[in-house]
Structure 1
Amino acid sequence: MLGTCTPFLSLGARLNLKLEPRIHSATKLFSSGYTSEINKSFGFSEKSSKLFPSKSLNHINPRNLHTSLTNYKKYKKSRLEQFKSKFVSAEDLNKRPSDLEIAKKGLPPNQPTLQGRIERDRRHMFHQMDPKHGYWTNKPVPVMEQMKIEMRSNPKKLLTQSFQIVKGEVEKWTDEVKGGEYNVNKNLREAFVRPGQRNKEWGFQSELELDEWIVTRDSDWGEGYSSAELKMNSAGTGAVFSGELSTRVPADGRTEEAGYVNIASVTKRKSFGRMKLLNHWDNYTHLTMNIRGDGRKYLLNLKVKRDLDITWDDRWHYPLYTRGGPYWQYVKIPFSKFIFGYQGMIQDRQQRVPLRIMQGMSITLKDKITGPFQLEIKDISLHNDPFGDDEHFAYEFYKVPNFWIGL
């Protein structure tokens, strides 16, 4: 009798189940020949009496041995239910946490909707659907959809505004032609930059110049508690980028890291909404800045125009170390020193920044230190100093197999 129970006991030990009391009671009932009582002892119903067709415990099916009160197979979702659970109904896309839940958990007030969370968390290795990953302040509506809406409401007003827009764009194009935007001789003269020549790209001496920059914080998207602003200094000689950096993570069950502020240059446009590239950067060797910082480390980011969606997040970075104190700091950075990264991660296969397709730049603070910050900027300029930097690219090129990095 003990020999017949040994396989069952070893199986129960391997499953780490507490079956000893039921095994002893089942052994006594087995010696009496009561198969139905054995089924009740193990928690099986009378319909499962076929599990014990004879007086040998070797016929027990190990798949049915469990001590839980519920059957896993009974509550297991079907493949169709698992497939449906991956989709969200249209009426649930605009749902967001209630004001009561936001106040109870201490969440940032502007929590995203369910659709916003899905768009921000969506990642694909070979495709990127949204250039901003769902982080839109005013998401553009497709032209045809906007025209359909306005055509239903007021078609006369739509036609009038359309002609006015076209007229304004034609006037812009005329000014570009008169100003020599398409003059070959003028462009050739500007392409030849003398050694030591400087060109101020962005100034910070007026409110109109400050409008060329956009301030963003993690609190803008409901993912943090940082604050920041860009305003003129008291003397009117520059702009002050200041605020409070907070590394506190919201208890929303989604955000894993918080604490960043950023200013980014507005993309320049020509007539008819065409992007104006900063291709004249290719004639210079250094990026210069006049700043007065607080001792913190900021990050400079250069953005270039990319056509393929998987390269939209390509950036070139360089740290900006500031000194605290009342004195201004002159920063001169060679373009060969900027490091290539993708979505904030340094890449193994490095390359020099392509200045011919330059689109803009940004300044980020994310040093994981909670507290106030202040960065005063007087100007951002370009400098041609061919004798100050004789390197084409300052970093080593590693030979990395293509399949490691998906290229």
Structure 2
Amino acid sequence: MSILLMCTRHLANSAKGPVTLSLLPKVAKCRSIYTTAIRSAFWEKDKKSGYQTKIAEPSKKELILDGLRELKGEIKLWKEEIKEYFEGDPVLIFRAGETDVVFNFKTENALDKWVVTTDADHGEGKSTATLELSATGAGLFHGNVNSEHVKDGIIKRTGYANIRTKRVRRSFKRETTYDWTQYNTLILKIRGDGRNYLINLHTEGYFDLEWNDVYHYVLYTRGGPHWQIAKIPFSKFFLSSKGRIQDRQLPIRLNRVTHFGFSVAAKNYMDGPFRLEVEYVGLEYDPTHREKFAYEMYKTDKYIVAT
């Protein structure tokens, strides 16, 4: 028996008469077997799925004023893009061992390209984090992760902090993506504290089902005063959406990368300070690496829907 029919019969019995249109809105108040929020449409308009945050957003007036202040620089950037389009030639030969740096902290506005968030920004925990320049001229991501959460009966676990690059854009704030298809390896020069960090590669798509596609891989740091070079093939990254590892895994689409970032969590009671120093993030083509994708591709039945 359908839920609508059950509710209609319930209303009819309680009203002791025929069901009228005025009683139909009460159907939504009847008990049902739903355990999640009921959605009235297939399309999801909010990229955060209603997830609340305490980060203040600028007003429309502030956005207009900022746009006018940046107009001159955007025109200059647009001219450079046009010049590069007509004069630039694609690089067709990649030498083994050569690293092309994509993110570093050598420029004055390097920190402006990153966004720092913690559980406290969403009103869920008490973690703190900061991204600043270190004495060696590298990016220093440090703070304190705290697994103590707000006891509201909804939140079960918390204690995290992360940094992420802002959405890559062309001139006049047009959205675009990084194209890393000519590379197969991620190179990092880091100095950590012995914790494990999560590397995040966002591949936000056009449709709402692809808004939260993120590829992950664990970054192991050894601690101590010495720098380390981490070399991670892109074939090792695995797909997740909204924090859930997907059953149907796919190789990362290197021409659809929109954000890059790191995350740290207070898992297994690892509360306390953390410290990750990043000198640069680069890309490399390794001709000896032939692996396309590191994970088995299971064939699932048609009625099993990946979540």
TM-score range, shorter chain: 0.7 to 0.9
Task: Return the offset for 1:123.
Answer: 7.8
The 5 A counterparts of 1:179-328 are 180=84, 182-183=85-86, 186=88, 188-235=89-136, 237-279=137-179, 281-328=180-227
> When you count helix as a share of all residues, which structure comes out higher?
1
Displacement of 1:129 = 2.1
Deviation at 1:406, TM superposition (A): 5.1
**CA positional deviation for 1:126:** 4.5
**Alignment match, 1:176:** 81
Residue equivalent to 1:128? 44
Correspondent of 2:264 among 322, 341, 365: 365
Q: Secondary structure at the match of 2:235?
A: helix
Is the radius of gyration larger for structure 1 or structure 2? 1
Amino acid at match of 1:256: K
CA distance in structure 2 between the aligned counterparts of 1:162 and 1:266, rounded to whole angstroms? 17
Instruction: Decide whether the 8 Å contact of 1:214 with 1:264 is kept in 2.
Output: yes
Q: Please give the secondary structure, in 1, of the residue aligned with 2:181.
A: helix
Shift of 1:190: 2.5
Q: Which amino acid aligns with 1:358?
A: V
* Residues 394, 173 of structure 1: alpha-carbon distance in 2 compared, 3 angstrom cutoff: same
Q: What's the secondary structure of 1:176's corresponding residue?
A: helix
Contact 2:99 2:187 in 1 (8 A): no
**Are residues 251 and 329 of structure 1, via their aligned partners in 2, closer, same or farther at CA, if it must alter by over 3 Å?**
same
Does the 8 Å CA contact 1:244/1:370 hold for their aligned counterparts? yes
Instruction: Report the 3-state secondary structure (helix = DSSP H, G, I; strand = E; otherwise coil) of the residue aligned with 1:228.
Output: strand
Structure 1 Cα separation of the partners of residues 45 and 279 of structure 2: 37
Q: Provide Cα deviations, 1:294-338, integer angstroms capped at 9, x if missing partner.
A: 111111111113011011111111011111211111100000000
Map of 1:346 onto structure 2: 245
Q: Any stretches of 5+ residues in structure 2 without a counterpart?
A: 1-13, 16-22
1:370 Cα shift? 1.1
C-alpha distance in structure 2 between counterparts of 1:161 and 1:318, whole Å: 36
1:207, distance to aligned residue in structure 2 (A): 4.4
Q: How many residues align?
A: 276
Question: Considering only aligned residues, what root-mean-square deviation do their CA atoms show, in Å?
Answer: 3.1
Distance 1:343 1:170 in 2: 37
| Inter-partner Cα distance in structure 1 for 2:152 and 2:262 | 28
What is the distance in 2 between the residues matched to 1:353 and 1:391? 13
How far apart are the structure 2 equivalents of 1:200 and 1:233? Answer: 19
* Alpha-carbon displacement from aligned partner over 1:253-274 (angstroms, at most 9, x marks no partner): 3322210100001122112221
How far residue 282 of structure 1 moved from its aligned partner, in angstroms, is: 0.9
**TM-score of the aligned structures, taking structure 2 as reference length:** 0.79
Aligned to 2:19: none
2:291 to 362, 374, 391: 391
* Percent identity over paired residues: 36
Deviation at 1:161, TM superposition (A): 9.4
Rounded to whole Å, the distance in 2 between the matches of 1:206 and 1:129 is 37
Offset, 1:84 = 7.0
Q: Tell me if structure 1 keeps the 8 A contact 2:247–2:306.
A: no
Bigger RCO of structures 1 and 2 (CA < 8 A, at least 6 apart)? 2
Q: Secondary structure at the match of 2:110?
A: helix
> Matches of 2:145 and 2:73 in 1, distance apart?
42
Preserved CA contact (<8 Å) 1:206 1:232: no
Query: 2:109 aligns to what SS in structure 1?
Result: helix
Structure 1 residue matching 2:277: 3-state secondary structure: strand
Residue of structure 2 equivalent to 1:381: 282
Q: Partner of 1:115 in structure 2?
A: none
The answer to whether the 8 Å contact 1:205/1:232 transfers is no
Q: CA deviation at 1:174?
A: 2.1
Q: Does residue 402 in structure 1 map to residue 302 in structure 2?
A: yes
Q: Higher strand fraction: Structure 1 or Structure 2?
A: 2
SS in 1 for 2:304: helix
| Residue 205 of structure 1: how far off its partner (Å) | 3.3
Structure 2 distance, partners of 1:128, 1:139, is 21
Task: Determine the C-alpha separation between the residues in 2 that align with 1:135 and 1:333.
Answer: 34
Tell me how far apart the structure 2 counterparts of residues 262 and 356 of structure 1 sit (CA, whole Å). Answer: 23
SS at match of 1:189: coil
